[in-house]
Amino acid sequence: MVTQSDGNPLQKGHDVEANLQSIEADENKPAAAPPSGLWGYLCHYGHKVVVAGRIELQGISPIPVKERTVTKTLNIFTLWWSMSCNILPITFGMLGPVYGLSLRDSCLVILFFTLLSALLPAYLCTLGPKLGMRQMIQARYSWGRYIISLPVLLNLATMTGFSVIIVITGGQCLSAVANGHLSISVGIVIMSILTLIISFCGFTTLHMYERFAWIPAVIAIIVAVGCGGKYLHLQTPPADPPTPQGILSFAMIVASYMIPWACLASDFTTYLVPSTPSWKIFTYSYTGLALPTILLMCLGAAIQGAIPSVPAWSEAYNETLVGGVLQAMLAPAHGFGRFLVVILSFTLLGNLAATSYSITLNFQMLAPVLFKVPRYLFAVILAAILIPVSIKAAADFFDSLENFVSLIGYWSSAFLGVVMVDHLWEKKGDCDRYDLEAWNDASKLPWGVAALTASVASFALVIPSMDQVWWQGPIAKTTGDLGFEFAFVVSGLLYPPLRMVEKKISGR
């Protein structure tokens, strides 16, 4: 490094020349020998394989401006489109009739609440290129260096739960095609291993895969609707008129599908050129998320409503749930229909791979010591978690789905209420107000007490508004589940005064 203790320019020139000679000498040194021992050799040659395979080595540290070079903005559209264009939204849409809603009522709820809740992830996507930071790293500027670990832990649980749902759905499809000769458990293992390969490689491989993954998905879904569409009008009307409780509880399911994407939104845009227009990123993200989700959730509601009227569908549903119904719908296509069900199961990898990629990053944020573990190794750990948990949860799939998804919206809404208010109020919506050098410095970041207090305090109104199997609050008995709405609004309203108090006490 050039010394600055002496103001003599000749001395400075001498120092620079010495440094250049030192650098040249270092470059001419022979390569260091691999570390001794088995573990040393594995690390050394494993690193060479990673570099040769163009596997992403970048972890959670901010992406330097010079490395934000991706100009294909359309990639963000194809990524969200591929993540949404698969049978997962169909599975969520099938819950509409479970809440006593007709096809029309289910579709109206899906339409309005998808359009509303997709705004959050689409907006946060626009911050990735400007800050070069992963989504939960951005949240440190309101939640602090250490308290952020709590939302990160909840986010890990949420994304892992989604991954469990996805691999179970894929396992059901593969089992349905094999007529029972391949168990759902084996299907789960296959889906988990394929996910490991994509998420292990990282950002470039992920975007390359997502660029084309939606094409076979669209073809297979269109053929499935063409084969089974003549039965979709045979809707079994609900026994009773729709209730506010049923409408808002299903709305909670729809919002809980969309809102959590906001907790990982900018993970997929950090490599875009910083000058990329925000309106373009927002439009691509919003359209890629909302459009396929609305169409496929409505299809799921239509399928669920027709199942009681179609004996073949009902029998297949009782055997392998979603996979069985898709197999029954494609039965007229015979062998080609089975092939398409396999394609449909693999289209879930578009969602699963992107979610798993964010999980590997969130693992690094959980504790300081984990930052030293390479990102790609967490992909292996995730696969080891997914397989046994998914096999266990597959026994009561829809109960697991309903109970899990219903809880997501509460914490994520409270968390995002704070993050959005901090960006729009504290930072005035200006990314230049972020001290990018402070991302990992606890002394320069807020304590996070204001964010935590605002989120926790919001549950004083959230809990009475919850409508779950195990708890129905007094407000929810009258209005239905309003928990995620109150969580977002109340935490956002409480944060500014609490943040001002925190700033006055802490001085930062």
Q: Where are the domains of the chain?
A: 66-396
Please report which confidence band the pLDDT of residue 398 belongs to, taking 50, 70 and 90 as the band edges: low
Read off the tokens for 278: 């925000």
Q: Between the ranges 20-29, 91-100, 187-196, 198-207, where is the mean pLDDT highest?
A: 91-100
Q: Give the Cβ contact number of residue 496 at 10 Å.
A: 16
Higher-pLDDT residue of 202, 298: 298
Give yes or no for residue 423 having a pLDDT over 60.
yes
Give yes or no for residue 20 having a pLDDT over 60.
no
Q: How far apart are CA 174 and CA 389, in angstroms?
A: 18
The percentage of the chain sitting over the pLDDT mark of 90, rounded to a whole number, equals 42
Give yes or no for residue 395 having a pLDDT over 80.
no
The residue type at 325:
V
Among 4-8, 98-102, 417-421, the minimum mean pLDDT is found in: 4-8
The residue type at 155:
N
360-376: per-residue pLDDT in tens?
Answer: 889 888 887 888 787 77
Rg over CA atoms, the chain: 25
211-262: per-residue pLDDT in tens?
Answer: 888 888 899 899 999 998 889 999 988 878 888 888 998 998 899 899 989 9
Looking at residue 163, its pLDDT comes to: 87
Looking at residue 505, its pLDDT comes to: 93
CATH code assigned to 66-396? 1.10.4160.10
33-78: per-residue pLDDT in tens?
Answer: 555 555 455 455 455 544 444 556 567 889 999 989 989 899 899 9
Please report which confidence band the pLDDT of residue 23 belongs to, taking 50, 70 and 90 as the band edges: very low
Q: How far apart are CA 158 and CA 167, in angstroms?
A: 14
126-145: per-residue pLDDT in tens?
Answer: 999 999 999 999 999 999 99
Read off the tokens for 151: 């939302």
Give yes or no for residue 186 having a pLDDT over 80.
yes
Mean pLDDT of the chain: 84
The residue type at 334:
H
